[in-house]
Amino acid sequence: MKKTRNTTAKTAVLEVFEKSRTALSHTEIQKQLNGICDRVTIYRILERLMNDDIIHKISNLDGTVKYAKCNHSHQRVHIHNHAHFSCENCHEITCLENVKPSYIMPHNYKVKEINFTLSGLCPNCLNSNI
């Protein structure tokens, strides 16, 4: 993992991820930064954080791209091929570290990345509908 310099904007983006329990879109991150930097700078920071394996990208069922902080401190091998949950009510996306996707591929394919998303109601929305 290569070192990158910390800027005020990068530090602010990292703080946004530290406070969030769910994945965030670029727009959600930009709103929380309150004008600290422009949208292009945020994209560059997100790209850098993905390259440094600090965050990972999630494509939601509706095509929205969100980003989540990596939780890999306990793993020797860092992979992002875990399941995600997309709530149909509040639209939050959470990483499901203990749910492992399963698939069987034909021999002439090589999988490099998995985007495994389950949808339904999250615990907060499920409890509020009772």
Could you report the per-residue pLDDT of 9-24, keeping only the tens digit for each?
A: 999 999 999 999 889 9
Which run of H or of E encompasses 123? helix 123-128
Q: 15 among the known binding-site residues?
A: no
The Cα–Cα gap between 24 and 20 comes to: 8
Joined together, the tokens standing for residue 85 give 């949950």
SS3 for 43? helix
| Residue 84, Cβ density class (10 Å: 0-12 exposed, 13-18 middle, ≥19 buried) | buried
3 vs 60: which has the higher pLDDT: 60
CATH architecture for segment(s) 8-128: Orthogonal Bundle (1.10)
In sequence order, which residues have a C-beta less than 8 Å from that of residue 89 and are 6 or more positions away? 121, 122, 125, 129
In sequence order, which residues have a C-beta less than 8 Å from that of residue 34 and are 6 or more positions away? none
Looking at residue 104, its pLDDT comes to 87
Q: 70 among the known binding-site residues?
A: no
Q: 113 among the known binding-site residues?
A: no
Q: 18 among the known binding-site residues?
A: no
| Predicted confidence (pLDDT) per residue in 30-88, tens digit | 999 998 999 999 999 999 999 988 998 888 777 888 998 887 554 544 455 678 888 88
